[in-house]
Chains A and B, each alone.
Chain A
């Protein structure tokens, strides 16, 4: 969730309403979840339970920023946002 994602974070706007893409299947795993995009055939790892919960909670919040501030403080808001940015780039999440 770090390093490579900085580029994506820079252009990620947190004032948008986001959701799990309807093209994506999410499978719980001990480390978090596996996401599979049925169109692009991409497999993406969500590497913590908190991130999985955040992704699932996105649609219940008006903005991504709201969802992040409601997420448990086990991870920093910056790392959540970086993870969301990369998930959007991978097509796992999209605008509502």
Chain B
């Protein structure tokens, strides 16, 4: 993204005519059960948008000139009409970046993807080896991603992304991730662990320690080619701002369309409080984006709250709304990962019972443990 003058940042805060960064989760169904899944995915929702409804969403995005959409899930490749939706989108000049866990990305699919323009593939990987990755993403998931990487390589698919959620256990492996991406002509993307969906269950044990945050900041500052989206602007409080969009774009330039057509302010706030409407209602997505009261409120200037006295507020903006919300902190005030520890006191005083939980949970039912007892 080009450099932003302060005036432009204000423009972005007051909202655009259409989102820049739109995430569309196609399904809550997933073949994996990652411990930090931001959308608590697992089981398909019966109300999932049909193929015809998905096409209508794309028609709207085309008319609104949304240049690309980030498709995720769940696992988008489990939808049988995935390629139909994908091709309809790119034929309508809405580029697609999609995230996958790689399991279903076989050679035939990789070959097919390599023939398409305006498609980016993002493979999720949370450890540079199986021992680090698999406890988070599931047994065998490291090997699955490596197979998908090889399939894309053989297909000649260029510039795919390897996407890592930075955790306490993998942050020391950043050089290895960079090496892996480099070896396969891929780009590295590093994002922040947020307490959204099942992420709430592991956030406190997996989030970066303060020294790890500082190390990551310097590592990223030296590597402007590593993609981070809006993940780490709270680290810009440490000094020179990191490249990227240094503001929370929820409802302003960012939003989520979930598998049943609900529109939320951001993929990390699947909660009724951030639900703006549904693409199935009259006026469709456009009406939600332009008319929703919630989005109107989010486009008001930020209230810095307890951050008002912080000299780094311009760079950090008080951090990520979703992370504050799902840790029970006030939205006006410091992020739980504030680099100066300014949320630590508030955080330790929060009653875990009072913390809001995601409004949608499609996790698979916990496996019932079979207890073997001896007869007689």
12 further interface pairs, Cβ-Cβ under 8 Å (given A38-B118, A45-B4): A25-B65, A27-B67, A29-B11, A30-B16, A31-B11, A41-B68, A41-B120, A43-B2, A43-B20, A47-B5, A47-B7, A86-B2
Q: Which residues of A contact B16 (CB under 8 A)?
A: 29-30, 34
Q: How far apart sit A34 and B2, CA to CA, in the bound complex (Å)?
A: 11
Q: B8 is contacted by which of A25, A27, A28, A45 (Cβ under 8 Å)?
A: A45
Could you give, for residues 41-76 of chain A, a 1 whenever the CB lies within 8 Å of some chain B CB and a 0 otherwise? Answer: 111110100000000000000000000000000000
> How far does the Cβ of A32 sit from chain B's closest Cβ, in whole Å?
9
Whether A8 is near chain B, meaning CB under 8 Å from some CB there, is: no
CA distance A49 to B16 in the complex (A): 15
Minimum distance in angstroms from A29 CB to a CB of chain B: 6
Q: Which residues of chain A from 1 to 40 have any CB-CB distance to chain B below 8 Å in the complex?
A: 4, 25, 27-31, 34, 36, 38
Secondary structure of the A contact surface, majority rule: strand
Question: In the complex, what distance in Å separates the CA atom of A4 from the CA atom of B65?
Answer: 29
Q: List 16 A-B contacts (CB under 8 A).
A: A25-B65, A25-B67, A27-B17, A27-B67, A28-B17, A29-B17, A34-B16, A36-B68, A38-B117, A38-B118, A41-B95, A41-B120, A43-B2, A43-B67, A47-B5, A90-B2
Query: When A36-B68, A41-B95, A43-B20 are in contact, do A30 and B3 touch as well, CB less than 8 Å?
Result: no
Q: Which residues of B sit under 8 angstroms from A34, Cβ to Cβ?
A: 16, 20, 67
A41 to B122, CA, bound (A): 14
Nearest B residue to A44 via CB reads: B2
Please name the residue on chain B nearest to A92 by beta carbon: B2
The CA of A43 and the CA of B18, in the complex, are separated in Å by 14
A36 to B5, CA, bound (A): 18
Q: Is the pair B67, A38 in contact by a Cβ cutoff of 8 Å?
A: yes
User: Among residues 14 to 48 in chain B, which have CB atoms less than 8 Å away from a CB atom of chain A?
Assistant: 14, 16-18, 20
Sorting the interface of chain A by its residue count into under 10, 10 to 19, 20 to 34 or 35 or more gives 10 to 19
In the complex, chain A residues whose CB is within 8 Å of the CB of B168: none
For residue B372, CB closer than 8 A to chain A, the reply is: no
Q: Which residues of A contact B20 (CB under 8 A)?
A: 34, 43
For A47, list chain B residues within 8 Å (CB).
Answer: 5, 7-8
Cα separation A57 to B17 with both chains bound (whole Å): 23
- What residues of chain A lie closer than 8 Å to B17, measured between beta carbons? 27-30
Per-position binary interface string of chain B over residues 182-195, scored 1 when its CB falls under 8 Å from any chain A CB and 0 otherwise: 00000000000000
What's the minimum C-beta distance from A62 to chain B, rounded to whole angstroms?
A: 29
Is B1 an interface residue when CB atoms closer than 8 A count as contact?
yes
Measured between alpha carbons, how far is A30 from B95 in the docked complex, in Å? 23
* Complex Cα spacing A86 to B120, Å: 26
Is there an interface contact between B120 and A30, defined as CB atoms closer than 8 Å?
no
**Closest CB in chain B relative to A64 CB, distance in Å:** 20
In the complex, the chain B residue whose C-beta lies closest to that of A27 is B65
Query: Given the complex, which residues of B lie within 8 Å of A4, measured CB to CB?
Result: 3
- The reply to whether B2 and A25 form a contact with Cβ atoms under 8 Å apart is no
**Top 5 A-B residue pairs of the complex, sorted by shortest distance between their CB atoms:** A36-B67, A27-B65, A31-B11, A44-B2, A43-B1
* Residues of the A chain whose Cβ atoms lie less than 8 Å from the Cβ of B95: 38, 41
| Bound CA–CA A30/B16 (angstroms) | 7
Shortest Cβ distance from B2 into A: residue: A44
In the bound assembly, the distance between CA atoms of A31 and B7 in angstroms comes to 9
Q: Which of A36, A44, A90 has the most CB of B within 10 A?
A: A36
Say yes or no: is B362 at the interface (Cβ < 8 Å to chain A): no
Query: What B residues does A45 contact at CB under 8 A?
Result: 2, 4, 8
Is B271 positioned at the interface, with any CB of A under 8 Å from its CB?
no
Least CB distance, B12 to chain A, in whole angstroms: 9
